[in-house]
Each structure stands twice: as structure tokens, then as C-alpha cells.
């Protein structure tokens, strides 16, 4: 049977009328069966292992690392010390002043007095930026993440205590996924990340003060630099357009098409629609593995909170990069 537009429309009607209710009921049953005590026990184990490996892995990521700085006095902190300090700062989630006071032990060990201004400057430090990038490469190599089945999703972090991202999304739906370019005072920063389904590690991410779409494209640029192959990818309906599907030419793409979706947008889109219409249940089983991304965001926000304290765009990006690193450290062993 030749695929036509009416077949896509019919399948979407069936999806809304019958199939999605079945999957929602199944998801609720699985949530009820979850052992929270076991989850917390495993989570504590991951934290202990991540903290234990922090020193050797930051040393390895910054070995021989030097960034030429033409102006300003030379930092008293070594690159590996900077990297550990900024990661610890994000983990504790305290203000810079509170963090500098809590780092008395750090000062005694290194002989360096760390002020809150020193902590804040780390978020725009070239050695820290290079160290974080080296660190994610190192983590992915240690876990042998090279050719993956992935899922991707975006979330938002509040830049002010007055607005909570989840509450705004619930009220505005898709309209909450972008902000007015002309508005100088942004309320949220958007973050998109691709996750490897096998290891549950993030392989790339992107941030934007404008929209989820811009964060997505930054993540794709990072993915290209990391040279990781995507065998299959699962994205939510925000990305259910042919232009997004065509970005993954060598990959199997799982999305739920929007109402009114048509054919005639290239082979990648045609193949995706064929799988959706002709093999729906298997297709949905693959697609709903995207819930791993949503679960990842939930765990991250429980750990680090739902807002970012930094105000400058480059420093916001660094803060969220640190959270990606911690997430991957938790799943390293």
C-alpha cells in the first residue's frame, strides 16, 4: 500500500483516540511499582563514587592545559583546582560568598585564599571552559560511548526566583519554549541535551536565552565536534518537523508527527512516516524511551535546583555545563 497523507491523519486520530491512553495507564502502573528506597540507596552510591573519582579525573582532564591570557594578573589556582572548585560550587548550590567561606578547608590545603569574586570569575575562565570540554570527552571515552541510540529533550531553568519554569510551561504550553528577543531581562534559560540510552549519560548539550530551538542547534554543533554517531534518536513533538528529521540522515528518527503533517519533504521524513503508520506499536515502544530524558531532567533538578544564579550568558552556559558533567560522573561506574 502506497503511503498517503490521509494514512498519517488516520493514524494520528487512532493515536489520540485509543493508543495514548493505554500507554499512559502503563506508565502510571510502572511508577507505582518503583521502589523509592532502593532508588535512594543506589543514588547515594553514585554520589559517593562520583566524589571519589573527582580529583583524579579532573587532574587527567587538565593535564598540560594552558590558556594564553594577555591581560590581568596570573591566577594562583591551577587548572585542575579551578575545575574542581567550580564543580564543587555547583554541587553545593550556595551563593559565591557562602561558598568562599565554606572553602576554608580548600584554602588550608592549597595555601590560596579563595574569595567569592574568584569563584564567580571561574564561570568565564578560559581554562575552566577547556577543562570542562576535555572532561566530557574523557568521561564518554571511559564509558566507550561512540555509536549510540539516543533520546533528546529540553527543559528550562529560572534566572529569577519569581518565575518557576514548570509552572509557566503548564500554563503557556508551547509558547513558554521561547522568549521575546527584544526583552532584555530574560526569565529562563533553555537547555537541550542528547542522552545515550544505554549508559544514560549526556553526550552533548546546548543552552539559549531565546528558545529551545537555538539550544538544540548548539547541541548539534557540539555533537559534530565530539564525532559521536547516532544510530537512532527520539525527540518530542516540538521537533516533529521535516527540517529536524533531515538533520539525522544516517539515523532512525522517532517522533510523533503534528496534526496536518504531510509527505513530500525528502526520504528521511518519508521513512519516518512509513515506520509510524505501518509499524505503529513497535515505533511507539521506541519513541517512549524518550522518557529517559525527562527522568534525567527531574533527577538533575532535584540535585541542583530549578534555577541558575549566574546572570551573564557565558557564565550561565558554564554553570549548566558543570551540571552535565556531574550527571555523567554519576553514571560513570
The pLDDT tens digits for 135-189 are 999 999 999 999 999 999 999 998 876 666 666 666 666 666 777 666 656 788 9
Predicted confidence band of residue 103 (pLDDT cuts 50, 70, 90)? low
Predicted confidence band of residue 117 (pLDDT cuts 50, 70, 90)? confident
Predicted confidence band of residue 225 (pLDDT cuts 50, 70, 90)? very high
State the Cα–Cα distance between residues 25 and 23, nearest whole angstrom. 5
Lowest-confidence segment of 90-94, 130-134, 229-233 by average pLDDT: 90-94
**What are residue 193's DSSP bridge partners?**
153, 205
Q: Please report the pLDDT score of residue 137 as a whole number.
A: 96
Predicted confidence band of residue 53 (pLDDT cuts 50, 70, 90)? very high
Lowest-confidence segment of 100-109, 227-236, 309-318 by average pLDDT: 100-109
Question: What mean pLDDT, rounded, does the chain reach?
Answer: 84
At 262 the three-state DSSP class reads coil
Q: Please report the pLDDT score of residue 304 as a whole number.
A: 87
Q: Please report the pLDDT score of residue 148 as a whole number.
A: 95
Q: Please report the pLDDT score of residue 1 as a whole number.
A: 64
Q: Please report the pLDDT score of residue 47 as a whole number.
A: 83
Distance of CA 139 to the CA centre of its chain: 15
> Per-residue pLDDT averaged across 232-254, rounded?
92
Q: Please report the pLDDT score of residue 90 as a whole number.
A: 87
Amino acid at each position: 500500500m502506497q503511503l498517503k497523507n490521509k494514512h498519517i491523519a488516520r493514524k494520528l486520530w487512532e493515536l489520540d483516540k485509543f493508543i495514548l491512553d493505554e500507554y499512559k495507564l502503563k506508565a502510571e502502573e510502572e511508577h507505582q511499582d518503583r521502589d523509592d528506597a532502593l532508588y535512594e540507596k543506589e543514588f547515594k552510591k553514585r554520589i559517593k563514587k562520583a566524589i571519589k573519582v573527582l580529583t583524579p579525573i579532573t587532574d587527567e582532564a587538565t593535564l598540560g592545559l594552558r590558556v594564553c591570557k594577555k591581560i590581568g594578573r596570573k591566577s594562583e589556582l591551577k587548572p585542575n583546582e579551578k575545575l574542581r572548585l567550580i564543580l564543587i560550587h555547583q554541587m553545593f548550590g550556595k551563593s559565591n560568598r557562602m561558598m568562599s567561606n565554606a572553602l576554608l578547608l580548600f584554602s588550608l590545603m592549597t595555601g590560596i585564599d579563595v574569595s567569592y569574586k574568584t569563584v564567580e570569575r571561574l564561570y568565564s575562565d578560559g581554562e575552566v571552559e577547556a577543562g570542562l570540554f576535555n572532561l566530557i570527552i574523557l568521561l564518554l571515552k571511559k564509558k566507550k560511548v561512540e555509536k549510540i541510540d539516543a533520546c533528546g529533550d529540553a527543559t528550562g531553568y529560572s534566572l529569577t526566583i519569581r518565575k518557576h519554569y514548570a509552572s509557566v510551561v503548564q500554563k503557556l504550553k508551547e509558547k513558554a519554549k521561547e522568549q521575546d528577543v527584544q526583552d532584555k531581562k530574560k526569565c529562563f534559560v533553555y537547555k537541550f541535551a542528547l542522552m545515550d540510552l544505554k549508559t544514560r549519560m549526556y553526550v552533548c548539550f546546548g543552552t539559549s536565552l531565546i528558545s529551545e530551538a537555538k539550544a538544540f542547534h548548539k547541541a548539534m554543533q557540539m555533537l559534530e565536534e565530539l564525532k559521536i554517531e547516532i544510530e537512532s534518536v527520539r525527540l518530542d513533538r516540538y521537533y516533529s518537523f521535516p527540517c529536524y528529521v533531515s538533520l539525522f540522515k544516517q539515523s532512525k528518527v522517532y517522533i510523533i508527527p503534528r496534526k496536518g503533517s504531510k509527505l513530500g519533504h525528502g526520504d528521511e521524513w518519508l521513512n519516518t512516516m512509513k515506520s509510524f503508520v505501518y509499524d505503529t506499536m513497535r515505533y511507539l515502544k521506541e519513541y517512549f524511551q524518550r522518557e529517559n530524558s525527562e527522568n534525567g531532567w527531574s533527577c538533575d533538578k532535584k540535585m541542583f535546583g530549578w534555577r541558575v544564579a549566574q546572570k551573564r550568558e557565558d557564565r550561565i552556559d558554564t554553570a549548566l555545563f558543570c551540571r552535565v558533567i556531574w550527571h555523567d560522573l554519576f553514571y560513570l561506574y
